[in-house]
Amino acid sequence: GCRVSFAESEVPSVDLVYRKFIEGNGGRANVLALNTLVINARLEFVSGDPVEFRLYRKRPGMMRMRRKMAHLCVDTIFNGKNGWRQTTSAASGEIRTEALPEEEVEELRQNSSIEGPFFRVGSDPANIASVEFDTVGEIQAIRLDLVPDADCIYSTLWLDAETYQELKMARFIDAVETGQPVYEEIILSDSDQIEGVHFAQKMEYYHDGELVKTLLVDRIRANVGLFDSYFSVE
């Protein structure tokens, strides 16, 4: 289709952007029909060995994330309320379980939803402080700055101005090594549709403009049967 240049067009309203976003995912009911999601991926670090990664999500808001390294398997588990980290030694098979602190649990809560952040925050225009045109790399984009008390871990979201799907997310986080705040940008690409819902197959993580890691998705499966007990620790 013919793409309108930014100079000629008005910035769309949040309502319009959200409506187009939902339409592009087959409608709200279609998104909500995804009950579980299983993602097989690998994390490649700019410095360090790659990590096998598997993510399980189940409505409402349960998650299990498994990272497999050479000598260790780490499961992060969230039942919708509490979170745990379970570490299994590859050599001895010994399992260590620890309950996670409140701030990590909040991060898990935010990451446990099957859909991306705009599905939730975009439904209420009061969450959006400003809408403007921008670019992400070569792609024309719509930039949405969120109000500080929006229920979202990101401060800014970018959607593709043509497809209205998520393109980038950004926030300030404290660096693990230094405790100093860094600006984290996550750039999404290689979108695929699962049951008509868009999912990025590639996620690049930048800290203060430097690429630190890339998540590459091998496979996404929807509506796989998963017991609730898989998301808690006995």
Q: Is residue 166 domain-resident? A: yes
Which tens digit of pLDDT belongs to each residue from 46-94?
998 999 999 999 999 999 999 999 899 999 999 999 999 999 999 999 9
Q: Which residues, other chains included, contact 34 with Cβ-Cβ below 8 Å and sequence gap of 6+?
A: 59, 114, 115, 194, 195, 197, 222, 223
Whether 69 contacts 51, CB under 8 Å? yes
The two three-digit tokens of residue 185, written as one number: 């940008």
Q: Which candidate, 123, 182, 124, 121, places its Cα nearest to that of 156?
A: 121
Instruction: Find tokens 């499966």 and name the residue.
Output: 221
Given this model, what pLDDT does residue 6 score?
61
Whether 145 contacts 156, CB under 8 Å? yes
Q: What is the pTM of this model?
A: 0.92
- What total of structural domains would you count in the chain? 1
Count of residues in the chain: 234
Q: Which of 13-17, 73-77, 97-101, 178-182 is the least confident region?
A: 178-182
Higher-confidence position of 177 and 46: 46
CATH number of the domain that 142 lies in?
A: 2.50.20.10
Q: Using CB atoms within 10 A of its CB, is residue 69 exposed (0-12), middle (13-18) or buried (19+)?
A: middle
Q: Which domain holds residue 45?
A: 6-231
Query: b or e along 28-59 (b: 16 or more beta carbons within 10 Å of the residue's beta carbon)?
Result: eeebeebebbbbebebeeeeeeebebbbbbbe
Q: Is residue 1 domain-resident? A: no
